[in-house]
Structure 1
Amino acid sequence: MDDDIFRGFDFMEQFPVLHDLVICRKSSCYDKKGGNDNGFTNKAEHIRKVGKRGAVYLDAIGPGCVFLYAEAWLNHFKQRPKWIEKAHVKRIGRVQFFFNGESEPQIDVPVNRFVGPEPFTFPLAYTPEQSTGSTVTYVPMPYPESLKVFVTGGQTFCWGLHFYYHTYPRGTQVPAWSRETDLSAARAALDYETACRPAGQIVHQLQDLVLQPGESREIFASDQGGTIKCLRMRLPEDDAAVKSLMLKAWWDDDREPSLNGPLSLFYAVENRWAPKPMAINLHAEMRGVVVGQDKEGLFFLRLPMPFSRRARLVIENRGTAAATIAEVWIESDETVTPGLGKSAGYLRTQFRESHQLTPGRDYVMAEIQGRGHIAGTVLAVEDTAECCLEGDERCYTDGGRSPLIIGDATETYFGGSWYFCEEAFALPLYGAPTFRMKSQVGGSPADITMYRFHVTDYFPFRGSARFSIQHGGFNEVPGNYRSLIFYYHLSDPSLTQTDYLSMADPESLRAHGFSAAPVRTRMRDGFFDGEFNGMDIGTLKRPKWMSPIAWMFYWTWWGGNRRRPPKDSPDRVSFTVAEHDRPHEFTVKIDPQADAVMLRRVLDQSVPDQRARIEVDGKLAGIWFNTGNNKWKIFAEDDLILDPSATRGKEKITLRVAPESLIWTAAEYTVFSIVTP
């Protein structure tokens, strides 16, 4: 696994490779009550309090690796004077990283000094000035055993941390973190100069491609294997045209196009040439490494698009006027990603748009069946109140009822903070290159185009994925959303359910040879975190005399902290929860052909810091640690992939759960076998 951690930056070769035994998680400052108090009061947005001022923000069991770390505090350079920021930073204090149970932190810096010392420098790390209010680093921080992040003044109001991290099965070898790790290849991969150079040995070029309304033109065709590495185009500087020109691609045996979406989203240029005048009308120089504009003025999309037998690319004009693309450059080579169709996937997209957003429900950007990983997002909002950016992103994988990825704002998902400080910016892997607003007043109608690519912090899934984002902090903001999700994918899932155990069913317990009675069993009634958390604020009608941002402020700071979900909420669920304080065993069926086994457990997360050793036939196969707690949304569903060496070749296994915390809770266990070709 050592190579995989650092080779992820070689995304032009590695991105199609699938990772069935990796789980991506996020730790953020989202409001556990289900409202929009995302780091504002910091009463419960961290994992746990330490003393009067300190707080733990990450407490993870290895093997694992943090691939993205971000901070935000009161540093909006347009709204807050420096003396306020200075006092705020002083109160927050120092960020300390404790690796592998060590008593002394290997990283111990003031919160506003994380970026600057090596290795946390550009282009692997970005200052708040570069990233519109956020400190962000992509320097990988692996941990073989554990990682705890403590902030000395972590209970301070109006600030927060974000971590995207991967967890691996026990037995996976990951290196210990070191400041001396050679990251030169990673820096080269994120260098804009690299993106300007040809990505493939073969260049297919077209000039003055004119498309009449309703016309489709083939721009590339091949009847042998290869990989398209980069699509460069000199786009028409016409917003209506780039929104209407649809790029489609078919790989191998596709019946439907794998790629299908408007050029405006493929290149993250939606609203860049919008004719409507705006008080704020900002467009950043596109200096990304996946999407951007090269020195010759051509916009590029640099993602590997492998195919083993044939490929076809088409552009279709769905507009009402003729459109011209002055130049098209398709850079490719004849190599095919090893394992394509088995251990590597095809690049696909899902294009979604909505002009009638559903009150109280997320805007769904992608729903995917099969196996793969989410690789990137382009999202454009148009003529929509700026406070839509309060919305959190959420990613559910493999049919789970709890999102493993749950964020705390749209702009923090796209690398900024404080509504991007009303600025446009473009960095190697993320940005908001277009920021337009009707007036200088916060919360005014805005056109904002954003992108982010997950070259190292990808979201793997084995059976399905559902990726959504709120439109406003309560899904209360009406507006216009358009999005394009990029993902690598194979249609057949690698995940199959092979057993299920209900703690409420005596027959199920007997059939699985369950031993050791629980301390007690309780019928519990409540909600899961995420979209289906029972909060109905988004469905309430806003008074006409109240602006969208005033309505948001009221519910964020006052009403939302007092409102409870209705008793008849369709999101409400009930479980019989067993509580254990001693070891217990049960036997489950698995597929003898499985590469690994994944356990899923429904737990009562109002009980803090639940931890247990998971043994398979007497061998330690994993440590299951559910950090922190949530007394408002009490249910969670969590996954653990067991050490493959403990399960391989077996038809059934005996699981021994040995609690290391005072209480271990479970309502259900579901057993999945992961089988790859």
Structure 2
Amino acid sequence: MKKSYLLLLPIILFSLISFKTLLDNKIISIDSLLQDMTDRDNLARFPESDYTCAQFSSYDRATVAPDQDGWFANWDRSMFIRTEKRGDKNEYVMMDTSGPGSIVRFWMTFAGKDSGKGILRIYLDNNTEPVIEGSAMEILSGGILADSPLSASVSQLTKYEMRGHNLYFPIPYAKHCKVTYQSDNIKDAGAKTGGEAVYYNINYRTYKKDAQVISYSAEEKNNAKKIAPATANQLAQLQKTINVPTEKHALTGEIKPNAKLSFSFKGSKAIRKISIKLSAKNLEQALRSTVLNITYDVEGNQKSATSVWCPVGDFFGTGYQLREISTWYTEVSKDGVLSAWWVMPFEKNCTVSLLNLGKQNVTVSQGEVEIGDWKWDENSMHFGTHWKEYYHLKTGEMKNNSGMVGGPFDLNYVTLSGKGVYVGDAVTLFNTVYAWWGEGDEKIYVDGEKFPSHIGTGTEDYYGYAWCRPEKIIGHPFIAQPDGSGNFVPGYTVNSRYRSLDVIPFKTSLKFDMEMWHWTRATINFAPVCFYYLQNGKDQNDKPDIEGAKRAVAINRTDIISPVIQYNSKNKPVSIQAESMIFENADGGEFAYDNSEKYGWADNMEANWSEAKMGNKLNMVFMSKADCTVPTKGIFTIRNNSGKFKFTLNGKSTIIDLTGEKTTLKTVDLGAVKLNKGKNTISVEVIDVPPSKNNTVEFGFDQLLFGLAKK
């Protein structure tokens, strides 16, 4: 009998171990993933179901290493892993990976004739037949798999073919996943000879090998018919209910310059919601110069390794201008109340402060912090932010798609060490050119990677929309563009991406670089903020950008690019470049800035007015410090598609003939011109259009040069 008991003991122990393994390894399915998607508490604990998050994309395959040519290659389209045959058709492989895992975010857009109409197929667990098959747009945003916003295109204000298509419905797999696209319109890799251009980003999780994953199937999708609509509805309605009892604490009052409002909490608790409404004479400046600072678990003079330090407007996703917005984590109401639902746990204590780094009094007319209980455990993490403004950032100078002058560069969003989860970011910027402000790709390195496991296809693709479109996105749970008016013209833009199932866990480090790659050279203000949870770690760039928060915000282009004449050491006018002038309006044609090293333009740039027709007028303005009369010359660009113009400066007109066969500069004597203290006006009128296909002309304006001033 004793021997029998001894024989049974290993079996019992094995059974207990197996049972514990099942308890430890939660079954991962469509159901469980959809439930996790709306559970904000999950973000604040390091994932028990150990996984990595990475990305497949159509990034330019010439991008190999930072020290090699091609690191900033930007032909990020129709790049696939390989081509396979399905019958007599080409099937382009976009993703191929071993499981267990799950697709957690899938973004695409297209260009070219009949684009987006190809067949998207998803094969799971090495099966030869796809479990999902159909038109790419129908699968990603057409509602075949789920209702909006789990399956949606943005912006709804944008023409459908110019939208980004986003699928957040999870597709788990136990062993393997392959995603392909079939289209007869694809001619070659990169669509370099025309045809359909396909852009894609696929975020996916890979779990540890013994993870219990139930693969997607029609049956599993049907089993999730209750939770899927409920999740979609909850996200669509942006229901920000708090599921635990909370205490509400008021945070109101006037904050004088260099002062703060502050209060502290003790115990194991979590901030569940913060709401703030600011008022000030200069509200835009107050939104930037009033800083939200949250510290946790400080003992004596010891500072917490992780904290929130971020200008109020940037933290809540509106930047320094109030814009209505509603996401799963943030909200800005019509009446200016800013709210956030990030869960921020602490073990022993927490201090919430509003710092006024500006020069004016700021009133917190409404303010409230909701605190609820939290059971601190070994997986609990602190919530942190990293914010910085890159002031007067000089971006890349490009000739065309195949050659670079000047050059792009990688801009660091954040570098973190330790164990944590990356949960989102936003950027607030002011653009100064009549062109798209950013074409760069995200490059995210996890746990010391030499090559980023996340490398994308463009800034707007990362933020979920497409084609630099300026239309607003204000009601999606995870992506937002409350203002895109600075996307094509000088102005203000805010982009946000918040993560749910596509959060990025890291065990030792995370580095996020955003490539700055511009179609034309530009000077912009660019302020990213990153959101993360961290455990026993550190933000490697944790010095607060106090000067950035204090600095005057840009409301107009002239706040960054001065329209004032340049003067010499004797305070005499010397010159003004055309790209520094204020473009007021044109009754036809397209206004922009060209930049090139080819033609000898001052600072390699000119103001360019193209597709102008007979009689069209262009109006520009510059500023002078004093009244004076000066000999004046203008430098213009002769082109083979140019014509004759009447150029009027402060009422004095000169006929300028810019017709010619070769692109070159032409200096025109404009005579003695009276400059006015303050505003000076230029009017350009098309008076002769040489015969051409479209009967339009191009006007290139480099600069004005001034001689010795006469009083």
Q: Same fold (TM over 0.5)?
A: yes
1:597-616 to structure 2, matched below 5 A, reads: none
1:445 match: 490
Spell out, residue by residue over 1:504-552, the C-alpha distance to the aligned partner (whole angstroms, 9 max, x if none).
xxxxxxxxxxxxxxxxxxxxxxxxxxxxxxxxxxx997965557999xx
Q: 1:267 to 1:244 in 2, by over 3 A?
A: same
Q: Percent identity?
A: 20
1:66 match: 103
Greater CA deviation, 245-254 or 307-316? Answer: 245-254
Does structure 1 retain, via aligned residues, the 8 Å contact 2:155–2:473? no
Spell out, residue by residue over 1:19-47, the C-alpha distance to the aligned partner (whole angstroms, 9 max, x if none).
383211111111122357656663xx111
Matching of residue 263 in structure 1 with residue 312 in structure 2: yes
Q: 1:436 to 1:209 in 2, by over 3 A?
A: farther
Matched to 2:38, the amino acid is D
Matching of residue 13 in structure 1 with residue 64 in structure 2: no
Matching of residue 135 in structure 1 with residue 165 in structure 2: yes
2:439 match: 390
Spell out, residue by residue over 1:308-335, the C-alpha distance to the aligned partner (whole angstroms, 9 max, x if none).
1111100000111111121112122123
1:494-643 to structure 2, matched below 5 A, reads: 544=603, 546=605
Does structure 2 retain, via aligned residues, the 8 Å contact 1:272–1:434? no
Spell out, residue by residue over 1:326-384, the C-alpha distance to the aligned partner (whole angstroms, 9 max, x if none).
11121221233x52xx2221111111221254764211111111110101101112135
Once residues 389 and 425 of structure 1 are traced to their aligned partners in structure 2, the CA distance between those partners, rounded to angstroms, is 21
Displacement after TM superposition at 1:287 (Å) = 2.1
Matched to 2:379, the amino acid is S
Once residues 62 and 520 of structure 2 are traced to their aligned partners in structure 1, the CA distance between those partners, rounded to angstroms, is 15
Matched to 1:201, the amino acid is P
Displacement after TM superposition at 1:206 (Å) = 2.8
Does structure 1 retain, via aligned residues, the 8 Å contact 2:38–2:235? no
Displacement after TM superposition at 1:71 (Å) = 1.3
Once residues 525 and 494 of structure 2 are traced to their aligned partners in structure 1, the CA distance between those partners, rounded to angstroms, is 12
Spell out, residue by residue over 1:186-207, the C-alpha distance to the aligned partner (whole angstroms, 9 max, x if none).
3355243512x45653343436
2:361 match: 322
Greater CA deviation, 299-308 or 4-13? Answer: 4-13
Larger relative contact order (CA 8 Å, sep ≥ 6):
1
RMSD value, Cα: 3.0
Matched to 1:464, the amino acid is S
Once residues 38 and 8 of structure 1 are traced to their aligned partners in structure 2, the CA distance between those partners, rounded to angstroms, is 35
**1:26 maps to which of 45, 50, 55:** 55
Does structure 1 retain, via aligned residues, the 8 Å contact 2:154–2:473? no
Does structure 2 retain, via aligned residues, the 8 Å contact 1:360–1:476? no
Matching of residue 194 in structure 1 with residue 239 in structure 2: yes
1:30-49 to structure 2, matched below 5 A, reads: 30-34=59-63, 42=78, 45-49=79-83
1:74-89 to structure 2, matched below 5 A, reads: 74=111, 87-89=114-116
Once residues 107 and 547 of structure 1 are traced to their aligned partners in structure 2, the CA distance between those partners, rounded to angstroms, is 51
1:375 match: 423
Structure 1's unaligned 5+ residue stretches are 75-83, 274-282, 494-538, 551-677
2:337 match: 298
2:253 match: 209
Question: Which protein has the larger Cα radius of gyration, Structure 1 or Structure 2?
Answer: 2
Helix, strand or coil: the match of 1:243? Answer: helix
2:686 match: none
Displacement after TM superposition at 1:245 (Å) = 0.5
Matched to 1:98, the amino acid is Y
Q: TM-score, normalised by structure 2?
A: 0.61
**1:145 maps to which of 175, 187, 190:** 175
Does structure 2 retain, via aligned residues, the 8 Å contact 1:199–1:332? no
1:233 match: 276
2:653 match: none
Once residues 24 and 32 of structure 1 are traced to their aligned partners in structure 2, the CA distance between those partners, rounded to angstroms, is 21
Once residues 489 and 274 of structure 2 are traced to their aligned partners in structure 1, the CA distance between those partners, rounded to angstroms, is 35
Spell out, residue by residue over 1:425-484, the C-alpha distance to the aligned partner (whole angstroms, 9 max, x if none).
4411111111223xxxx7433321111111210111111111111122599654221111
1:97 match: 122
Does structure 1 retain, via aligned residues, the 8 Å contact 2:471–2:483? no
Does structure 2 retain, via aligned residues, the 8 Å contact 1:128–1:134? yes
* Displacement over 6 Å in runs of 4+: 539-543, 547-550
Once residues 352 and 19 of structure 1 are traced to their aligned partners in structure 2, the CA distance between those partners, rounded to angstroms, is 29
Displacement after TM superposition at 1:54 (Å) = 3.2
Does structure 2 retain, via aligned residues, the 8 Å contact 1:192–1:287? no
Once residues 520 and 414 of structure 2 are traced to their aligned partners in structure 1, the CA distance between those partners, rounded to angstroms, is 17
Helix, strand or coil: the match of 1:381? Answer: strand
Displacement after TM superposition at 1:421 (Å) = 4.5
Q: 1:62 to 1:384 in 2, by over 3 A?
A: farther
Q: 1:399 to 1:419 in 2, by over 3 A?
A: same
Helix, strand or coil: the match of 2:40? Answer: helix
Matching of residue 111 in structure 1 with residue 149 in structure 2: no
Once residues 608 and 342 of structure 2 are traced to their aligned partners in structure 1, the CA distance between those partners, rounded to angstroms, is 38
1:433 match: 482
Q: 1:248 to 1:58 in 2, by over 3 A?
A: same
Q: 1:129 to 1:207 in 2, by over 3 A?
A: closer
Once residues 597 and 352 of structure 2 are traced to their aligned partners in structure 1, the CA distance between those partners, rounded to angstroms, is 46
Matched to 2:314, the amino acid is L
Matched to 1:136, the amino acid is N
Helix, strand or coil: the match of 1:15? Answer: helix
Spell out, residue by residue over 1:178-222, the C-alpha distance to the aligned partner (whole angstroms, 9 max, x if none).
322232553355243512x4565334343652111111110x411
Structure 2's unaligned 5+ residue stretches are 1-25, 64-69, 187-194, 395-406, 539-594, 610-711
Q: 1:299 to 1:397 in 2, by over 3 A?
A: same
Does structure 2 retain, via aligned residues, the 8 Å contact 1:200–1:332? no
Matched to 1:490, the amino acid is Q
